[in-house]
Each structure stands twice: as structure tokens, then as C-alpha cells.
Copies of this chain bind each other. A is one copy, B any other.
Amino acid sequence: MAPPPPGPDGETQKQVKAESTEMASQRRPISNILFIIAMQTEALPLVDKFQLIEAPSSDSVFPEGVPWVRYSGKYKDLTISIVSPGKDAALGVDSVGTVSAALVTYASIQALKPDLIINAGTSGGFKAKGACIGDVFVASDVAFHDRRIPIPVFDLYGVGLKQACNTPNLLKELNLKVGKLSTGDSLDMSPHDEAAIIANDATVKDMEGAAVAYVADLLKVPVIFVKAVTDIVDGDKPTAEEFLQNLAAVTAALDLAVTQIVDYINGKSVSEL
């Protein structure tokens, strides 16, 4: 009943064209950065730092009724947007987690056509992998730890491993710590999660990164992950308590690192990072 799908030649040509467009865009200076930040507490200091303005709801690029918040402005040679999924309409808490993060990343890419995405936020860190409270990590790659599908190939899809944008010069110049990021929708860590996090070889754990990576990969936009450690997952203190205690102070460390990264990016292309 359905018309025949495009033949392999058409697909190959389209792919080659997409790849060459992608390579060309990697050599142009970056002019448009999109931040995806899950919590308002994490976003607001950066909004102030870059002197961004909240888009009024009359000028929203998003559908009516969604709680998504967009701040934007110029900083040096860059257009910067910070998008947060905002407060849940019924409950009033930040819309954390993979589903909201995927949705705002998708809608923001469609509306804003960024050259680069930066997913910045707080995370849990593993002291066994060298993480301390207040450390800021750039992720080399990202995977899920709570999508177990024990059927061949589906298991790999569940893990959803994606590489972050390769930024050797940025990492060297700013002397940033590098680690692997593992994502799940729970703030705590079950034994099953722990086994998957170890299999992912993760130094930091968050609730959004791999979903942002999935969408960025789908739409071919390079993405960087900057994650500051608010709590030690393999430590003595309960995660929720430690997270809330350290949130404000660690956010300051995150902002400093993000500002240095943005200053470094200014004037450069993706392939120069």
C-alpha cells in the first residue's frame, strides 16, 4: 500500500549532502549558542552574567501553554539563548528529567537553529572516579543508565551512548576535567542503576544529558556537556540533602566554568574547539 521508500542511492546522496553541510557549518565561526539548563536556580546566574532578557510570552517561539522559558541576548560576538523546561504547571517544581529536556532541546533547535548546544547543570559525582563537590566536568560521552532492554541490539539502543562534540583545544586551554556522564530519571541510585553506571564508566551522573545528546544527534547539532558536582553519589550523605545544601554554591563554580568556556568559544568555529 505504501509507496516504495527512496532507494539506497538517493539516501546516500542525501547523506553525503547532509554531511558536507555539517562539515561546512563546523568551519564557520560559532555565532549562535543554545544552553539547555534544567533548573531555574542553575540558569538565573548565567542569565545575569550574559545580561539576557526573558522572552515575553507574546513573543514565544514555543507553543501556547508550555512552561518553557527562553532568555536571550548578545554577548561579545555571540547570540546566546538559555532555555529551561520551566515549572511544571500543576506542581510548580522545575521540569527536570529526560522527557522535558528532550522536548525543549527539540523545540529550541527547530526555533533557534543553534550552531552549538551547551547542556549545563549540576550532577552527582563518583569519588571512586575522582570527583569532589564543586568540581566541574566536561563530558566526553553520555549514556543512559536506566533503560535496560535485554534483547540484542535493543540493549545498545537503551544505553544510547553518544559522543559529545570533540573539544581538545578548549579542554587543554582551560584545563578542564573530563569524565563520562551517565543519565537517568531518578535522583537516587538503585543497585540496577549503579551496575549500569559502572558499565558506562561514568564519573558524573545527571538527569538530562543523554536525552539532550539524543536529540542533538538526531538533528545533527554539536553538543557540549558541562556538569558541576553537587553531591557525592558513592559517599555517606543522602543525595537529596547534599544536593539541596550545595546547589547554590556549586552553581557559582558552574557559572565561572561556563563563562570561561563561552569566552573561549567566542570567535572560533566548532572544528577549532
Contact = CB atoms under 8 A, between A and B. Distances in A.
A110 interface: yes
A48 B150 contact: no
A64 B103 contact: no
Interface stretch (A27-35, A134-142, A164-172, A214-222): A214-222
A185 B3 contact: no
B98 A99 contact: yes
Interface in A158-208: 158, 184-188, 190-192
Interface of A: 1-3, 5-6, 18, 47-48, 51-54, 56-57, 63-66, 71, 88-89, 91-93, 95-99, 102-103, 106-107, 110, 144, 146-151, 153-154, 156-158, 184-188, 190-192, 211, 214-215, 218-220, 240, 243-244
A91 B157 contact: yes
A3 B54 contact: yes
Contacts of A99: 98-99, 102, 211, 214-215
**Binding site secondary structure of chain A:** loop
B96 A154 contact: yes
Contacts of A93: 153-154, 157
Contact of A148 (B106, B153, B186): B186
A186 B195 CA distance: 14
For the complex of A and B, the 6 pairs showing the least CB-CB separation, nearest first, are: A2-B54, A148-B186, A147-B185, A190-B192, A149-B187, A99-B102
B185 A150 contact: no
A39 to B, nearest CB: 11
Contacts of A106: 103, 106-107
Contacts of A158: 97, 185-186
B146 A48 contact: no
Contacts of A184: 146
B147 A186 contact: yes
Contact of A187 (B54, B103, B151, B214): B151
A5 B60 CA distance: 13
A183 B109 CA distance: 27
23 contacts: A1-B52, A2-B71, A3-B53, A91-B156, A91-B157, A97-B158, A99-B99, A99-B215, A146-B146, A148-B185, A148-B186, A149-B186, A149-B187, A149-B188, A150-B187, A150-B188, A150-B240, A151-B240, A151-B243, A158-B186, A190-B190, A190-B192, A192-B192
